[in-house]
Chain A
Amino acid sequence: MATISPAPPNPTAEDLPTSATEIVQPKNEVQQDAQAEAPKPISEPSVFKNSEPIREDQVQNAVKFLSHPKVRGSPVMYRRSFLEKKGLTKEEIDEAFRRVPDPSPSAQATSTNQDGQVKSPSNIQPQAPTQALQTAAAAPTGAISPGGSLMRSRFHWYHAVFAVGLLAVSGAGTAVLIKNTFVPRLKSWIRKVILEDENDIVKKTDAKPSLAEEAAAAAKAAAAAAADVAKASQEMLNSKNNEKRYFEEFMSLLDVQVQEMKSMNNAIRKLEGQTNYSGKTSIANREDHRVSMTNVKQQYTNGKVDFDSRSVRSSSPPAPVEPSVAPHPKSYMDIMAMVQRGEKPSNIRDINDQPPNPNQQLSSSRFAPRSKPWEVGQTQNGSSHVLQSEVNAEGLNYMVQDDGLNHQLENESSVPWWQRKNVRISEVDNEDELKSGPNGAQTHELPVRRTWVPPQPPPVAMAEAAEAIRRPKPSVHNEQLAGDQSVSRPSDVTDELQRITKISETGSAEEINGGSSVLNSSEIQEEKEQFSEAN
């Protein structure tokens, strides 16, 4: 789907120029946050889209890159990936692709005048047929990724073998030709000569028997010589064939040796851990073994690409700043070696992990979803609004249900060990500060209290809170909140949420975001106030 520009982004692309000016300017200023976020709660999340206008210089560079003949032959995916890594946005990449004419004759890109210079070298090259040839020839050579050189060298090696094969075949062919045509011709010519000579001899027997005899002798000698030559040439041909055979055997032996050397090289590299990245090693190894060992019928749609890219990556020359590879555990290397040899580790069992009943009904969920700590004061999702008040109510239920677990704690007067140490320290302070509530109830509430975070109070209360005498740490005092306050909460929840909604809609989202920690402290203040009120 990569290069097709689908319908949905187009309307937003039109919106981009209008909003771009708004956003480009604030970018230089500090208030970009507020302005960029102002439309956010109302309409689509434009923050998560590129709002920059298309940079013409980047597009020009991209077009130059794409017009390069070697790049032309590479898969589209590689080209896109390269441009993405250079930091071009999707729109810029699409624009560059649009400007560079497609090699295939059917798709003619609209060439803009701006890139006339860039496109002239590409136009000089002849059109589709030779371009097709070029792509075919360049396809094995063209690779944008850093390991392109390796691809080329592999191609050359391959090419060399192919050339040698061709030569051998042609040599054999000519030998056969010679054998089949030249030698019979030679023989027939010799026969002809002999016959002629004989005829001559017959004709001239009276006249010049000696001459004829000599001629005959000469002819015979010539024939014998020719026969010898023929024999010699045949022997040479045979020897040539033998040599060719030996040569081919030799080549195959060399190939085998090269393979072995390569695998040894890989093994050494892995052991030394010099050029491979740790993540890639495991991935490269996994890909290696998955291809060979898996028994599930899977289509590796990108299998070939992955293989190439894997080998590209594992043999690419070290980059200037190269992360060192983490030394793998010895047993990991053992297992890798085993797998590469084709052995299966002995501890693997055959397990059937298919669902026994593919239409199995889910068990009924026992608890309602709980709100997240960061969702307090959240106004983005309408659903979460309702959910929160529900959750708050059900949070109580949960607390009640969990009492069964915590009653034990109450008796033992201990807190689950996984609560923060600070909690225990502040517990001591709390006892002094809070007027009522038995310790047991306190501790009993504490672990459960964590489950329900009260909503943030409105900013108005913040100002009051800021003037409060006590300034507790937010994280510590979150756990101090007693449970009975929660009873009064549900009615307040919606009110406070509404107030927060108003504030966020006026565009002070940053306030809320930045003030969440402040809100924490204010919330605690209000808790304390309410608690004291309750008392």
Chain B
Amino acid sequence: MPVFKTPFNGYSVKFSPFYESRLAVATAQNFGILGNGRIHVLDLSPTAPTLSQLVSFDTADGVYDLSWSESHDSLLVAATADGSVKIYDTALPPTANPIRSLHEHTREVHSTDYNPTRRDSFLTASWDDTIKLWTVDRPTSVRTFKEHAYCVYNAAWNPRHSDVFCSASGDCTLRIWDVREAGSTMIIPAHEFEILACDWNKYDDCVIASASVDKSIKLWDVRNYRVPITVLNGHGYAVRRVKFSPHRRNVLASCSYDMTVCLWDFMVEDALVARYDHHTEFAVGVDMSVLVEGLLASTGWDELVYVWQQGMDPRAV
């Protein structure tokens, strides 16, 4: 399975929704505490299991997350630690990049997500307790959602309802928002500790997964949100990111500070389907490919990016 060594500590990895073999990695120097950042656009070679770099972009501050555009095959949105949101066009030469730098957040931008249904807008979630909605053509944000009492770690669009998204925050609540409404439409006090990630089920648009510092992942149905559908335990430390499979309604992947990436099937009695412990530091980013079923990618603070097919060993040659 291919491995790519990044010079900086990995923070996030995302597959391109246009090219099966393409993915982007967000990295930050010095574990993201203080230092530069770099975005790598990598390509999987179809013949040999190798990852090669197509292009990379340097940033002044660490990059915490990125997101591919759903409407334009070469656009990337990057969330950086200095509060700016940068847009890159990988089809243009690096000297012409970034094409936009949007600076409105007052703290680090921790995550970004592109709308998969409307395909024209994206969200950024920041440690300044706000979530902002942007479009690529506008120099300023379209909306600002300010309700959380602490850092917002993640925001994710609903895969079926183009105006609904959820957010996970350090104030221990999940909030569901509708862009057409002024404020949040639902507040779920999901955990007793900070919630680091959230994601929607792609096949059941009312199911959300929340990943928390309390090492658990909880699945919620918004129609009956007082009690979780199920609680997935198995990680040894805080769960950093969670991602529902784009191909299977019951499957989700998660990565954690216990250095493992886990695959879960929550309709099964013993939900943990697979555990991959290939990382030697915090596993911080994970993604499942929309175009290739079962293809997983992960990155961590050990400066490595792995891409592997579910069921195989990521470290296999």
Inter-chain contacts of A450 with B (CB < 8 A):
20, 291-293
Inter-chain contacts of B192 with A (CB < 8 A):
319, 321
Inter-chain contacts of A367 with B (CB < 8 A):
18, 73
Residue of A7, A279, A294, A412 near B213 (CB, 8 A) is: A279
Closest CB of chain A to B138's CB: distance in Å? 13
Digitize B16-29: 1 where CB-to-A-CB distance is under 8 Å, 0 elsewhere: 01101100000001
Q: Are B34 and A372 in contact (CB under 8 A)?
A: no
B199 contacts the other chain (CB 8 A): no
Closest CB of chain A to B51's CB: distance in Å? 11
Cα–Cα, bound, A286→B97 (Å): 28
Inter-chain contacts of B82 with A (CB < 8 A):
294, 296
Inter-chain contacts of A286 with B (CB < 8 A):
32-33, 108, 127
The A-contacting residues of B in range 59-73, CB under 8 angstroms, are 59-60, 70-73
Given contacts A47-B206, A345-B35, A409-B46, contact A362 B136 (CB under 8 A): yes
Residue of B36, B72, B224, B246 near A27 (CB, 8 A) is: B224
Inter-chain contacts of A106 with B (CB < 8 A):
none
Inter-chain contacts of B203 with A (CB < 8 A):
374, 513, 516
Given contacts A286-B33, A373-B290, contact A326 B237 (CB under 8 A): yes
Segment at the B interface, from A185-193, A207-215, A237-245, A349-357: A349-357
Cα–Cα, bound, A90→B70 (Å): 33
Inter-chain contacts of B159 with A (CB < 8 A):
372, 374-375
B193 contacts the other chain (CB 8 A): yes
The B-contacting residues of A in range 48-106, CB under 8 angstroms, are 48-50, 77-78, 80-81, 84-87, 89-90
Residue of A32, A370, A373 near B224 (CB, 8 A) is: A32
Cα–Cα, bound, A352→B59 (Å): 7
Cα–Cα, bound, A503→B216 (Å): 38
Inter-chain contacts of B75 with A (CB < 8 A):
362
The A-contacting residues of B in range 207-263, CB under 8 angstroms, are 213-215, 222-224, 226, 236-238, 246-249, 257-258
Inter-chain contacts of A418 with B (CB < 8 A):
20-21, 44, 46, 292, 295, 307, 309
Q: Are A278 and B49 in contact (CB under 8 A)?
A: no
Residue of A278, A352, A373 near B237 (CB, 8 A) is: A278
Cα–Cα, bound, A344→B281 (Å): 23
Segment at the B interface, from A147-155, A169-177, A331-339, A494-502: A331-339
Cα–Cα, bound, A457→B282 (Å): 44
Q: Are A372 and B290 in contact (CB under 8 A)?
A: yes
Q: Are B187 and A89 in contact (CB under 8 A)?
A: yes
Given contacts A301-B128, A421-B311, contact A447 B86 (CB under 8 A): no
Q: Are B182 and A8 in contact (CB under 8 A)?
A: yes
Inter-chain contacts of B215 with A (CB < 8 A):
323
Q: Are A87 and B226 in contact (CB under 8 A)?
A: yes
B196 contacts the other chain (CB 8 A): yes
Cα–Cα, bound, A365→B180 (Å): 29
Cα–Cα, bound, A377→B287 (Å): 25
Q: Are A48 and B136 in contact (CB under 8 A)?
A: no
Cα–Cα, bound, A285→B34 (Å): 11
The chain A residue with its CB closest to the CB of B165 is: A48
Closest CB of chain B to A293's CB: distance in Å? 6
Cα–Cα, bound, A339→B151 (Å): 22
The B-contacting residues of A in range 374-422, CB under 8 angstroms, are 374-375, 378, 380-381, 383-384, 405, 408-409, 412, 414, 416-421
Closest CB of chain A to B295's CB: distance in Å? 5
Q: Are B164 and A374 in contact (CB under 8 A)?
A: no
Total interface residues on B, CB under 8 Å, equals: 117
Inter-chain contacts of B224 with A (CB < 8 A):
27, 32
Q: Are A1 and B147 in contact (CB under 8 A)?
A: yes
Given contacts A47-B222, A335-B33, contact A420 B294 (CB under 8 A): yes
A112 contacts the other chain (CB 8 A): no
Cα–Cα, bound, A9→B185 (Å): 9
Q: Are A355 and B98 in contact (CB under 8 A)?
A: yes
Given contacts A323-B215, A372-B290, A513-B204, contact A49 B186 (CB under 8 A): yes
Residue of B149, B248, B294 near A77 (CB, 8 A) is: B149
Inter-chain contacts of B310 with A (CB < 8 A):
420
Given contacts A6-B183, A8-B181, A373-B290, contact A347 B222 (CB under 8 A): no
A517 contacts the other chain (CB 8 A): yes
B173 contacts the other chain (CB 8 A): yes
A2 contacts the other chain (CB 8 A): yes
The chain A residue with its CB closest to the CB of B196 is: A279
A491 contacts the other chain (CB 8 A): no
The chain A residue with its CB closest to the CB of B166 is: A48
Q: Are A352 and B161 in contact (CB under 8 A)?
A: no
Q: Are A326 and B257 in contact (CB under 8 A)?
A: yes
Cα–Cα, bound, A286→B92 (Å): 34
Inter-chain contacts of A135 with B (CB < 8 A):
none
Residue of A7, A300, A420 near B106 (CB, 8 A) is: A300
Q: Are B31 and A48 in contact (CB under 8 A)?
A: no
Q: 22 pairs across A/B with beta carbons < 8 Å?
A: A9-B182, A48-B158, A81-B173, A85-B172, A278-B213, A283-B127, A293-B34, A300-B107, A323-B238, A332-B301, A339-B33, A347-B29, A355-B101, A356-B96, A366-B74, A369-B17, A370-B18, A375-B117, A378-B160, A416-B46, A417-B47, A418-B295
Residues of B whose CB lies within 8 Å of any CB of A are 17-18, 20-21, 29-36, 44, 46-49, 57-60, 70-75, 82-83, 86, 89, 91-92, 95-101, 106-108, 116-119, 127-129, 136, 139, 146-147, 149-151, 158-164, 170-173, 176, 178, 180-187, 189, 192-194, 196, 202-204, 206, 213-215, 222-224, 226, 236-238, 246-249, 257-258, 281-282, 290-295, 301, 307, 309-312
Residues of A whose CB lies within 8 Å of any CB of B are 1-2, 6-9, 27, 32-33, 36, 44-45, 47-50, 77-78, 80-81, 84-87, 89-90, 277-280, 282-283, 285-287, 289-290, 293-294, 296, 298-302, 306, 309, 319, 321, 323-326, 329, 331-332, 335-336, 339, 344-345, 347-358, 360, 362-363, 365-367, 369-370, 372-375, 378, 380-381, 383-384, 405, 408-409, 412, 414, 416-421, 447, 450-451, 475, 478, 513, 516-517
New A-B pairs, 13, CB < 8 Å, besides A50-B186, A285-B33, A375-B160: A6-B183, A8-B180, A81-B171, A277-B213, A300-B128, A326-B257, A329-B281, A335-B34, A347-B35, A369-B17, A373-B293, A380-B160, A420-B311
Q: Closest 4 interchain pairs by CB?
A: A326-B237, A416-B46, A326-B257, A81-B149
